[in-house]
Amino acid sequence: MIDPSAAFDLTAEFRDAMRRMASTVTIITATDYERHHGMTVTAVTSVSMDPPSILICLNNRTRLHDIMGQARRFCVNILHAEQAELSSAFSGALPAEERFEKGAWRKTGDGLGFLDDAQANIFCQKMAAIPFGTHTIFIGQVVDIHLGEAAEPLIYQNASYRVSSAAPVANR
């Protein structure tokens, strides 16, 4: 039970709590036909199976957020366990104009970039943008999917990259 009289920094506590939640690492790509950009994002989740849809949360101060305001489509590139260096590049380790020099990037006919050797590429039509606090929730309806061969996602938890392994299950 929390002592209501104790000093409490809700923002710091929330940040610490969220660091305990493991998230699959993705690179979101979008284009507004003048600018092409990508950024590492872990705030991604499915919304519905009918229609198949996904949501991403982007900070309002990012370049990708600005581009997403004009973009009609975006791609969720799910990273493989061996792509931590690529994730770091798209997290700001490299300037935006140099990021696509790393990795096996291709473009669709309308110029949307996607990572050819990702775990999966989920191509979405932007359906909604819902502002909330410092972020905007973008909802996309899935229009196409490319699946990689292996299911070994890169995971981010407690400010570090991790890989998954099967948990032991007790026999009943």
Residue 102 lies in a domain: yes
| CATH code of the domain covering residue 111 | 2.30.110.10
Q: Kindly state the tokens that stand for 72.
A: 């009609």
| Residue (of 138, 142, 122, 144) closest to 76 by Cα position | 122
pLDDT tens string, the chain, 172 residues long: the values are 556 555 678 989 998 998 888 999 999 999 998 999 999 999 999 999 999 999 999 999 999 999 999 999 999 999 999 999 999 999 999 999 999 999 999 999 999 999 999 999 999 999 999 999 999 999 999 999 999 987 899 999 999 999 988 888 877 6
Write down the pLDDT at residue 1.
56
**Residue 47: domain span:** 24-156
Mean per-residue pLDDT over the chain, rounded: 93
Residue 168 lies in a domain: no
Angle at 61 between CA 154 and CA 52, to 5 degrees: 50
Residue 7 lies in a domain: no
Number of domains the chain is built from: 1
Write down the pLDDT at residue 169.
82
